[in-house]
Amino acid sequence: MKLGVIGCGKMATALVKGAVSQGVVKAADVIGVARTEASRVRFSEQTGARNTASISDVVKEAEVLILATKPLDLPGIIRSADLENFPDKLYVSIAAGVTLETMERLTGGACRIVRTMPNTPSLVGKGAAAFSLGSKCLESDRDVVQSILGAVGMSVEVPERLIDAVTGLSGSGPAYIYLVIEAMADGGVQAGLPRADALKLAAQTVAGAAAMVLETGLHPAVLKDMVTSPGGTTIAGLAALEEGAIRSSFIAAVGAAVARARELGKS
Ligand SMILES: NC(=O)c1ccc[n+]([C@@H]2O[C@H](COP(=O)([O-])OP(=O)(O)OC[C@H]3O[C@@H](n4cnc5c(N)ncnc54)[C@H](OP(=O)(O)O)[C@@H]3O)[C@@H](O)[C@H]2O)c1
């Protein structure tokens, strides 16, 4: 696969690094373009891929193009790069809030476009992403997208109307969990643990609990019951969390972020 990258920022660099290290694509078969030379050089240093200052060189060479600029820059780039004249490529957009309908319209209606919503843990190979295939996509495009997103974590396919829900859950979710980790560490510090140890223990506890859910396939409630002995420490902690309305707080947090994503999408 010949991979082109338009916008060589943090997210594109993470995706290419992952794809190269997982053998999805060879570094020599990847070419990226960014606005400034500093970004282009950084991208090549971190991924081993080539770079150019010419968007049209990238478009001509690549079979699959990752569209990874900021959302506001994307429509202008699609127009100026004349993507309409390259309907044989697969376009994978990671730009938040730019709809398939907008991208299909800007590319003349014949292009195969995929909209994705990755999240920042992709930077460390632990991403949780969703994607939606555009109306012209082929069945085989699904495999291509899954292999790229899979190189930096996992992905699920959703109808595009649910992309805002994904934004509110896994897109914004890392920040919710940073807060949880910080607060758990504070609790540890209050109980006398050194700050650095408390943070490590809290973060690894979150990672471990997540791995238990993903790897055992057991419902979180079952796993919770398994570690909650009668009259023990864990049920005392859980009761305190329930007093703080932890469940409804998280449900409301996801709901508020989804509502904001919808609002931003309209503007
Ligand atoms: N970071 C996240 O958490 C996250 C999560 C989900 C989705 N996303 C989406 O991912 C996309 C990229 O985010 P990011 O955090 O990686 O942004 P970023 O680091 O700012 O990268 C944007 C890149 O686009 C390049 N660019 C801008 N205008 C260009 C042009 N006319 N021609 C060529 N390249 C151009 C920039 O080049 P210069 O650096 O040279 O200006 C930069 O390399 C965004 O659309 C965002 O919505 C990000």
Residue 192 CA to ligand 1 center (angstroms) comes to: 42
229 CA to centre of own chain? 37
Class of domain 3-159 as given by CATH:
alpha beta
Reported in sequence order, the residue ranges of the chain that DSSP labels E, i.e. its strands, are 3-6, 30-33, 50-52, 64-67, 90-93, 112-117, 127-133, 153-157
pLDDT number for residue 265:
81
How far CA 221 is from CA of 114, 215, 228, in Å, comes to: 35, 15, 10
Closest to 67 in 3D by CA, of 27, 96, 36 = 96
Strand 3-6 and strand 153-157: the pairing is: unpaired
What token pair was written down for 82? 């004349």
- Residues in the chain, how many? 267
pLDDT number for residue 126:
96
Which atom, in ligand 1's list, is nearest to the CA of 96?
Answer: 47
Q: How would you write the pLDDT of the chain (267 residues) with one tens digit per residue?
A: 999 999 999 999 999 999 999 999 999 999 999 999 999 999 999 999 999 999 999 999 999 999 999 999 999 999 999 999 999 999 999 999 999 999 999 999 999 999 999 999 999 999 999 999 999 999 999 999 999 999 999 999 999 999 999 999 999 999 999 999 999 999 999 999 999 999 999 999 999 999 999 999 999 999 999 999 999 999 999 999 999 999 999 999 999 999 999 998 887
Range(s) for CATH 3.40.50.720 in the chain?
Answer: 3-159
Residue 230 CA to ligand 1 center (angstroms) comes to: 51
CB neighbour burial string for 181-196, b if at least 16 within 10 angstroms, e if fewer: beebbeebbeeebeee
Range(s) for CATH 1.10.3730.10 in the chain?
Answer: 171-266
pLDDT number for residue 267:
72
Residues with CB under 6 A from ligand 1: 6-12, 33-36, 39, 55, 68-71, 73, 77, 94-96, 118-120, 171
CATH topology of domain 171-266: ProC C-terminal domain-like fold (1.10.3730)
CB 85 within 8 A of CB 60: no
Is the full-model pTM beyond 0.85?
A: yes
pLDDT number for residue 264:
87
Report the Cα–Cα distance between both ends of the chain, in Å, rounded. Answer: 36
Q: Which of 39, 72, 78 to mutate to test the pocket of ligand 1 (most atoms within 8 A of CB)?
A: 39
